Amino acid sequence: MKKVAIGIDIGGTNSAIGVVDELGNVLVKDTIDTPNHGNIQMFIDDLATAIKKQISNVKLLNADLEILGIGIGAPNANYYKGTIEHAPNLSFKGIIPFSDLLKSKLPEYQTIALTNDANAAALGEMIYGGAKGMKNFAMFTLGTGVGSGIVVNGDLVYGNDGFAGECGHMILVPNGRHCGCGGRGHLEAYCSAPGMKRTAFELLVLYNDTSSALANKSFNELDSKMIYDAAMAGDKIANEVFEITGSYLGQGMADTVHHLSPEAIFLFGGPTAAGDLIFGPTQRSLEAHLMPIFRNKIKILPSKLSLGDAAIVGASALVWKEIEKR
Amino acid sequence: MKKVAIGIDIGGTNSAIGVVDELGNVLVKDTIDTPNHGNIQMFIDDLATAIKKQISNVKLLNADLEILGIGIGAPNANYYKGTIEHAPNLSFKGIIPFSDLLKSKLPEYQTIALTNDANAAALGEMIYGGAKGMKNFAMFTLGTGVGSGIVVNGDLVYGNDGFAGECGHMILVPNGRHCGCGGRGHLEAYCSAPGMKRTAFELLVLYNDTSSALANKSFNELDSKMIYDAAMAGDKIANEVFEITGSYLGQGMADTVHHLSPEAIFLFGGPTAAGDLIFGPTQRSLEAHLMPIFRNKIKILPSKLSLGDAAIVGASALVWKEIEKR
């Protein structure tokens, strides 16, 4: 009998549901709207219906399937309590007992577990991806924000309260750029996609460079993809944005290494498509910021999860990990 | 039969040997010279003789003892390999297979384990001290340097290569003060005892304050005890040194919390005797640098290990931890 796990990714606009096999292949998937009116019970009903539909669909492909459980990736998710707490981009306010609500609709599944998106991605990397067999690694997810998941001794680090792994909010520059969390100088304010845009404008200001392609875009227009395209076309400012972003990222990673001495740090997300443009300066900066005993040991690797399915696949990995723990 | 463990602390000048009971009491202890001529085999011989002597001594007190094993705390110690590697303050250069050498002299002890001083202190806190029952915490040891030990899910974090827990070398100030490790702007360069002295002179320079008691000491004379005494006597510069030291320490701890979400961070070492002078600004700075979800949750606690015996006691804790793992 083939074993599969259900992975769910709760997003601000849409939520995705997929059925994933042991190799990390998404067999079937669908998305539903995440309501913007805050009615959590209606959403749980819709989600349970959508899950049942995907289970029917996948059983059309292969009737001989065992569904092991449901893993959920969500913002501000608390693994210990199965709750989503005060998620700024979701309409469900306060503390939502998400796992319990879903369990009451789908009592046939013993294993229903919840974690945040970046933790789910790290688990996905460990169960299906490039971190197979690694016991100590970290994963940084670069996007609108910078998330992270940390694995120590083969287990995800949740910490005392379930919220560990907020490496995106380590302080790189005392009293530096304002971060979305309210803090100052955080890695996320420099190395996220909006952080790269901020760096681009900082450089335009510094050099007063009117010839750069980036000088023709407004602050609201410019995005990291445009910076990448300009860099590939030889734009000096755009290339320096990648150099500086990698420099900050490497500095932050050095703090992670000094804490945890991981075997590797994985990078996931849109900006990693720039390849050596971002990996090169990041690795150089990491080495420059490491103590001698850690040098030339730590690999910075691109995630092997596909960008499109990573959220579903990562969430489903939670199920295999829960079963392994028993 | 009463169970005891042997704890050994390898220092640059002296090495201490003690026999420790399950409550962390040091029943007997002694010190021997750590040779400054690099002859490791002669030192191992001396150490084995000293251990046997302490075992005889403790059996005079209570004949009905079971010696569970030997735990060693040493600088640059690698737990996985049982080695001391390139320790700058020891005369033994290169990679010393310390555990194996000692085992060959004392084959009757199955459990001989080695870790660095700060890791040993963290284990001591968990087995005998204020971290009993805690599964996630960190310990910072303030002294000539700043060491740290991290516990996640009830186990010490050694990382991929055995060298995890170098929180003293996280970067607080990009391109800041030179650190003894060769890096720049590390926590150790601000929050160690010499770091406090550097801050004192920075403040004398800033204010050109000739009336401070600290203005009468040379750079080589001034130490953290004098700064403490001056602060207690109302010296403004000395008080500001503690304020700034705590501010840096809290900033660094915030990065540790954002990585690991510990229940508490313990402080150990001479400067902690200053009590609220150092704990107050550290706690305030930590709270100011934390993301909202971590605020008012993390305790900063003084170590419950006695300053004099902590190294022996911490090293002995390694033995109980090894036995627990079996």
pLDDT-derived band at B36 (thresholds 50, 70, 90) equals: confident
Which one of A164, A182, A263 has the shortest CB-CB distance to B160? A263
pLDDT-derived band at A88 (thresholds 50, 70, 90) equals: confident
How far apart, in whole angstroms, are the C-alpha atoms of residue A283 and residue A119? 23
What lies within 8 Å, CB to CB, of B72 at 6+ separation is B7, B8, B9, B10, B98, B99, B102, B112, B113, B114, B115, B315, B318
pLDDT-derived band at B87 (thresholds 50, 70, 90) equals: confident
Same domain, A116 and A100: yes
CB contact under 8 A, B289 and A183: yes
DSSP B208-223: T-SSSGGGGS-TTT--
CB of B169 within 8 Å of any CB in chain A?
Answer: yes
How far apart, in whole angstroms, are the C-alpha atoms of residue A259 and residue A167? 11
Which one of A172, A182, A291 has the shortest CB-CB distance to B183? A291
Q: Please, which residues 49-68 of chain A have a Cβ atom closer than 8 Å to chain B?
A: none
Q: What is the ipTM of this complex?
A: 0.93
How far apart, in whole angstroms, are the C-alpha atoms of residue A276 and residue A297? 19
CB of A291 within 8 Å of any CB in chain B?
Answer: yes
Tell me the chain B residues in contact with residue A259 when contact means C-beta distances shorter than 8 Å.
150, 157, 164-167, 170, 255-256, 259-260
Same domain, A268 and A147: yes
Tell me the chain A residues in contact with residue B162 when contact means C-beta distances shorter than 8 Å.
261
Distance from CA of B297 to the nearest CA of A (A): 9
User: B114 phi and psi, to 5 degrees?
Assistant: -135, 135
**In chain A, % of residues over pLDDT 90:** 90
Same domain, A295 and A313: no
Average pLDDT score over residue span B103-122 = 95
Same domain, B291 and B232: yes
For B255, which residue in chain A has the nearest alpha carbon? A170
Distance from CA of A62 to the nearest CA of B (A): 39
Same domain, A320 and A277: no
For B76, which residue in chain A has the nearest alpha carbon? A293
Same domain, B77 and B181: no
Q: Is residue A37 within 8 Å of residue A91, measured between CB atoms? A: yes
Instruction: Name which of A72-76, A79-83, A304-308 the model is least confident about.
Output: A304-308
Alpha helices by DSSP H, listed for B17-160, are 40-61, 98-105, 117-128
How far apart, in whole angstroms, are the C-alpha atoms of residue A199 and residue A164? 28
Q: Is residue B312 within 8 Å of residue B17, measured between CB atoms? A: yes
Average pLDDT score over residue span A281-299 = 96
For B248, which residue in chain A has the nearest alpha carbon? A174
Q: Please, which residues 131-160 of chain B have a Cβ atom closer than 8 Å to chain A?
A: 135-137, 150, 152-153, 155, 157-160
Q: Choosing among B81, B166, B258, B287, which should be mutated to test the A contact, i.e. which has the most A CBs within 10 A?
A: B258
CB of A165 within 8 Å of any CB in chain B?
Answer: yes
Same domain, A102 and A245: no
Give the domain extent around B275.
137-302
Burial of B323: CB neighbours in 10 Å, binned 0-12, 13-18, 19+: middle
Same domain, B142 and B87: no
Instruction: Name which of A117-121, A249-253, B245-249, B251-255 the model is least confident about.
Output: A117-121
The three-class DSSP label of residue B186 is: strand
Q: Please, which residues 198-227 of chain A have a Cβ atom closer than 8 Å to chain B?
A: none
Which one of B158, B259, B292 has the shortest CB-CB distance to A164? B259
Same domain, B85 and B20: yes
Tell me the chain B residues in contact with residue A155 when contact means C-beta distances shorter than 8 Å.
153
pLDDT-derived band at A99 (thresholds 50, 70, 90) equals: very high
Same domain, B142 and B42: no
Average pLDDT score over residue span B247-257 = 98
Which one of A76, A251, A261 has the shortest CB-CB distance to B164? A261
How far apart, in whole angstroms, are the C-alpha atoms of residue A9 and residue A17? 7
Distance from CA of B326 to the nearest CA of A (A): 16
pTM of the entire structure? 0.94
DSSP A246-269: HHHHHHHHHHHHHHH--SEEEEES
Same domain, A278 and A152: yes
The number of folded domains in chain A is 2
Q: Where are the beta strands (DSSP E) in B153-291?
A: 155-156, 264-268
Of B62-71, B78-87, B242-251, the range with the highest mean pLDDT is: B242-251
**Sign, Cα dihedral of A81, A138, A282, B118:** positive
Same domain, B26 and B79: yes
Q: ∠ CA A130-A131-A137 to the nearest 5 degrees?
A: 135
- Tens of pLDDT, residues A28-62: 999 999 988 888 999 999 999 999 999 999 999 98
- The CATH number of whichever domain residue A318 belongs to comes to 3.30.420.40
Is residue B89 pLDDT above 90, yes or no?
Answer: no
